[in-house]
Amino acid sequence: MARRMKMRRRSVNFSGMILVTIVVAMIVLVVLFKSSELRDKLAAYEKRESYLTEQIEEQKRRSEEIEEYRKYTQTKQYVEDMAKSRLGLVYKDEIVLEADE
């Protein structure tokens, strides 16, 4: 009877070890699969981050240009340029030459 108990324990231990090995292998496969997905997501997020960083830099440059234009519009030179180009005004001592078409 003792022999049967030993054989049974060995059989139970062996099947238990096989079951544990299968479970561990499944966990490893799931972890590998998920890590691959995470790497893909990370690459996509890094690409999006670089795109957004470029957009931020572009908007900063545009903001600086707008600020420079705002300062220019508050100068006397801007008023003179607009009066000459849009209204055709000139100073009293200026001579305007136009080409014949």
3-state secondary structure the chain: CHHHHHHHHHHHHHHHHHHHHHHHHHHHHHHHHHHHHHHHHHHHHHHHHHHHHHHHHHHHHHHHHHHHHHHHHCCHHHHHHHHHHHHCCCCCCCCCCCCCC
- Residue 75 pLDDT: 94
- Residue 90 pLDDT: 83
pLDDT class of 99 with cuts at 50, 70, 90: confident
pLDDT class of 22 with cuts at 50, 70, 90: very high
pTM of the model: 0.54
* Mean model confidence pLDDT for the chain: 88
d(Cα 21, Cα 38) in Å, to the nearest integer?
26
- Residue 3 pLDDT: 60
- Residue 96 pLDDT: 74
Does residue 10 have a pLDDT over 80? Answer: no
Does residue 1 have a pLDDT over 70? Answer: no
Does residue 7 have a pLDDT over 80? Answer: no
